[in-house]
Chains A and B, each alone.
Chain A
Amino acid sequence: AQSVTQLDSQVPVFEEAPVELRCNYSSSVSVYLFWYVQYPNQGLQLLLKYLSGSTLVKGINGFEAEFNKSQTSFHLRKPSVHISDTAEYFCAVSLPFNKFYFGSGTKLNVKP
């Protein structure tokens, strides 16, 4: 079975500072990896995904993530955050044509 661990439940950061949200996964087979963002009382919006190819994936809103197979990680990064990035971020893993497994989420709180 697959599982996802997001070690940081909350990450406070000042505006214009860089941020990294950590995601580690467990799987005995190759998986697809996703990062989603959720604003209060809204559904999930896809930030980026890794399905194959280049391990550095660029997404929307200036976010990027790097797939590291040896460390089974898929950390999300942004070089300079904005107040509007305050939200909850979920990492997810899936097998092809299979259900998603979500991490517990990381709340990013950007302070002025």
Chain B
Amino acid sequence: GAVVSQHPSRVICKSGTSVKIECRSLDFQATTMFWYRQFPKQSLMLMATSNEGSKATYEQGVEKDKFLINHASLTLSTLTVTSAHPEDSSFYICSARDFNGRGMEKYEQFFGPGTRLTVL
């Protein structure tokens, strides 16, 4: 299967600072990437859908000015948490779709390993 990486795997920052998380598709081109947030003992909640070369589509209730998403290339999407606060502490997971995938692979989402953000 296709491989998706995230960097960093863990980040600790002070309240009020901004944090950038990278999501890369390593061996395929991802025209669409997705960003999820997972609070402890909860399921994944979709935050936004990121399309290469266009603006991201945010889910209801997600602040687009706080969670900036950039999908500048077919292999890289970034999520920037601006002016982070303790309540933003969470596990952030990205996923990517390979629309050029063979057969039914194009219908799958391939997930990154996640980034643990802790805001002090």
Contact = CB atoms under 8 A, between A and B. Distances in A.
Contacts, number: 51
Measured as residues with beta carbon below 8 angstroms from the partner, the interface class of chain B is 20 to 34
A51 B43 contact: no
A46 B113 CA distance: 12
Interface residues of A, number: 22
A99 B107 contact: no
Given A41-B114, A99-B46, A104-B43, A51 B107 contact: yes
Contact of A103 (B43, B46, B93, B99): B43
B109 interface: yes
Contact of B107 (A36, A90, A97): A97
Contacts of A32: 107
11 contacts: A34-B108, A41-B114, A43-B114, A44-B93, A52-B104, A90-B43, A99-B46, A99-B49, A100-B46, A102-B43, A105-B42
